[in-house]
Amino acid sequence: MLAGLMMDYPLTLNTIVEHARRMTPRKPIKTKLPDGSWHEYSYADLHRRVRQLGNVLAALGVEPGDRVATFAWNNYQHLEFYFGIPCAGAVVHTLNVRLSQEQLKAIIDHAEDKVIFVDGSLLPLIEPIAERLETVEHIVIFNDVAGRDCDLPNLLHYEDLMAAASDEYEWRCADENMAQGLCYTSGTTGMPKGVLYSHRSMMLHTLGVLQAAALGPTEADVVLPVVPQFHAMAWGLPYAATWVGASIVMPGPHLQPAPLADMIESERVTIAAGVPTIWNGLYHELRSKPRDISSITQLVVGGSAMPRGLIEAYERDFGVNVVHAWGMTELSPIGSVAKLQTQHQDLDEGGRWDIKAKQGYFVPGVDARIVDDAGAELPWDGETMGELQVRGYWVAGQYYQRENDHEHFTADGWFRTGDVVMIDANGFMTITDRTKDLVKSGGEWISSVDLENMLISHADVLEAAVIAVPDERWGERPLAVIAPLDGGCDAAALNAYLLERFPKFWLPDRYVIVDEIPKTGVGKMDKKALRQRYAEGKL
């Protein structure tokens, strides 16, 4: 090696919070509390409390490498966990608050979480399983709900622990290859898969988000992450916003269209990020009760396809620029962004909306290819469809504790996304289909396979297939096609049966009763035919 190389400075998350303390100590982080009032503090306060949290974790016996879970809305405490847990060398594991109790227990046990930080209003969801969790030693509650008793023996109070903790602290994350975060994503099989991020991958992802070609927030921005912090690290915005010292507005549990509209207006939000369902709801809210949302420079949308009509409507009715992005938990999550480029400058409005409705170009740092069923690479001609495979600085190489997983990772180092796409000669991607058997409703996954397995176990059901059908409000909703054993099936009874295991939003909105479910040549349920018949109305 030649002498005189650059300094080997580790890519670790303490860098971000240290930088914010030095450069933008007084910039605000505001949170809408459950009672509707605002909590406000500064990056200097965040830095201090992150260090206190390091001491709290040490006092709880958390060691480097331990998993520490969060079960929370978007708020300043969750931001503290985003930094404090990894900077103490531990792994912040963000739990999805919409999962059923059995799903939560399976994930917490699989991750072997040692401590869980729980938002007060969400405690009733954890309480019934708390004593059955295999590895959890402490449950730490914050935003306590006044007057609500809880007799869990291992319950502690966050603010009591913080009050007793010093803010003198040595970071415990010197190695950039240490695990930093863990996020589970639903798969086709029963058990969701964990994606484990390192400090290095998350720092590179944050730099990736900060590129102008990606979302590119600056100090002047006011960032509102509506996308939950438990969904793919809130798309990296909390880390990116902190690094540049942007103002942050956290919505807490107030995710309904009316409070979001009020928040955008009163806080002069410039970048807001959420799934299409959220922006659809906000659009209708603004049509019925106008607010001034002209401060927005980027209404970021991803997680599901954003309908072209809604992109157009936002721009035409409110002059708001919609930025459509594609990502996956496995990509930390940013993969592609559909911002206009020089090649589009002569397009008329309609042409520009066509481009903005695509999933866009891959951001620098993410490498992509499309392949056919046999794995042969396909051309980027804007017509040929194939499975999208990606690799890059913040793309997973395997799932947590699942080695040799050739179903999801190729032998030559690419991640198989399960999205079927075409890419044009200029690198703009359009998603056309999914190979994964999943329904995405309001940005949340519903496993069709899990629903089918449960339905088939019902005494009246012979065969069951669940497919996604387009839905104006939720993007997709599950539809169940049932071949009954003999006689009929009662949809209400089947839904009551499913409710024993799954959250309410998983229940199919529609049941179709058939004599037999169509099969493919190899005898599998022909979901493609079912989709054509019921989702696209073609047959």
Nearest distance, CB of residue 495 and ligand AMP, angstroms = 24
Q: Applying CB under 6 A, does 327 fall inside the site for ligand AMP?
A: yes
Give 43 or 415: the residue with its C-beta nearer to ligand AMP: 415
Per the CB < 8 A criterion, the answer to whether 165 and 51 are in contact is: no
Among 431, 466, 468, 482, binds ligand AMP (CB under 6 A): 431
Site for ligand AMP contains 329 (CB under 6 A): yes
Q: How far is CA 312 from the centre of its chain?
A: 25
Which residue stretch of 51-59, 125-133, 214-222, 297-305 sits at the interface with ligand AMP (rule: CB under 6 A)? 297-305
Residue 52 or residue 417: which is nearer to ligand AMP going by CB?
A: 417
Decide if residue 181 touches ligand AMP (CB under 6 A): no
Listed in order, strand segments (DSSP E) in 199-303 are 222-225, 247-250, 271-274, 298-301
138 contact partners, CB below 8 Å, separation of at least 6: 60, 114, 115, 116, 154, 155, 156
228 touches 4 (CB < 8 A) = no
Distances (CA, A) of 424 to 50, 369, 519: 45, 12, 34
Please give the single-letter amino acid code of residue 429: M
Give the span between the Cα atoms of 39 and 242, in whole angstroms: 17
Q: Cβ distance 476 to 440 under 8 Å?
A: yes
Which residues fall within 8 angstroms of residue 517, CB to CB, at 6 or more apart? 463, 464, 465, 481, 483, 525, 526, 530
Residue type, 204: L
**CA torsion sign, 29 to 33 to 38 to 41?**
negative
Q: Give all strands (DSSP E) within 56-199, no chain letters.
A: 67-71, 91-94, 113-119, 138-142, 155-157, 179-185, 193-198
333 binds ligand AMP (CB under 6 A): yes
Q: What is the closest distance, in whole angstroms, from the C-beta atom of residue 440 to ligand AMP in the complex?
A: 6
β-strands 415-423, 113-119: how paired?
unpaired
Whether 109 contacts 136, CB under 8 Å: no
> Which residues from 212-241 bind ligand AMP, rule CB under 6 A?
232
Q: Could you tell me which residues come within 8 angstroms of residue 292 by beta carbon, excluding any fewer than 6 positions away? A: 265
**Do 218 and 244 touch, CB atoms closer than 8 A?**
yes
Whose CA is closest to 237, among 99, 82, 379? 82
Of how many residues is the chain composed? Answer: 539
Q: Indicate the SS3 state at residue 30.
A: strand
Nearest distance in Å: CB 150, ligand AMP? 31
Of residues 139 and 431, the one with the C-beta less far from ligand AMP: 431
| Interface segment toward ligand AMP; rule CB under 6 A; list 130-138, 259-267, 303-311, 348-356 | 303-311
Contact set for ligand AMP, span 380-419 (CB under 6 A): 417-419
In the complex, least distance from residue 132 CB atom to ligand AMP, rounded to whole angstroms:
27
* Alpha-helix residue ranges (DSSP H) falling in 164-256: 199-210, 237-244
Residues 276-295 that bind ligand AMP (CB under 6 A): none
Residue 118 backbone class (left: φ over 0; alpha: ψ -120 to 50; beta: rest): beta
Interacting residue with ligand AMP among 281, 303, 386, 478 (CB under 6 A) = 303
Integer Rg of the chain from CA: 23
Among positions 305, 337, 395, 479, the unique one binding ligand AMP when judged by CB under 6 A: 305
Please say which residue, 88 or 195, places its beta carbon nearer to ligand AMP.
195
Give me the least distance between CB of 481 and ligand AMP, in Å please: 22
For the segment 433-472, give every residue that binds ligand AMP (CB under 6 A).
Answer: 434, 440, 445
What SS3 state is found at 386?
strand
Distance of closest approach, residue 272 Cβ to ligand AMP, in angstroms: 16
Mask of contacts with ligand AMP, 338-377, x by CB under 6 A? ---------------------x------------------
Binding-site size, ligand AMP (CB under 6 A): 20
**Interaction between residue 304 and ligand AMP (CB under 6 A):** yes
94 binds ligand AMP (CB under 6 A): no
Scan for tokens 């990296």, then name that residue: 236
The answer to whether 129 touches 105, Cβ cutoff 8 Å, is yes
530: contact with ligand AMP by CB under 6 A: no
Cβ proximity to ligand AMP: between 214 and 431 the closer is 431
Rounded least distance, CB 13 to ligand AMP, Å: 21
- Considering only 117, 230, 279, 326, the residue that binds ligand AMP (CB under 6 A) is 326
> Smaller CB distance to ligand AMP: residue 247 or 359?
359
The answer to whether the peptide bond before residue 25 is cis (omega within 30 degrees of 0) is no
Least distance to ligand AMP, CB of residue 330, Å: 7
Least distance between ligand AMP and beta carbon 199 (Å): 21
Residues annotated as part of the active site: 185, 330, 440, 445
Please identify which residue in 185, 247, 270, 332 interacts with ligand AMP, judged by CB under 6 A: 185
Near ligand AMP by CB under 6 A: residue from 86, 208, 281, 302: 302
Answer for which of 107, 272, 328, 337 binds ligand AMP (CB under 6 A) is 328
Min CB(124)–ligand AMP separation in Å: 25
**Which residue number places its CB atom closest to ligand AMP?**
329
Structure tokens at 323: 């930025």
Q: How far apart are CA 93 and CA 85, in angstroms?
A: 9
| Residue 326 or 497 with smaller CB distance to ligand AMP | 326
Binding residue for ligand AMP (CB under 6 A) from 98, 193, 324, 391? 324
Q: Which residues contact ligand AMP by CB under 6 A?
A: 185, 232, 302-305, 324, 326-329, 333, 359, 417-419, 431, 434, 440, 445
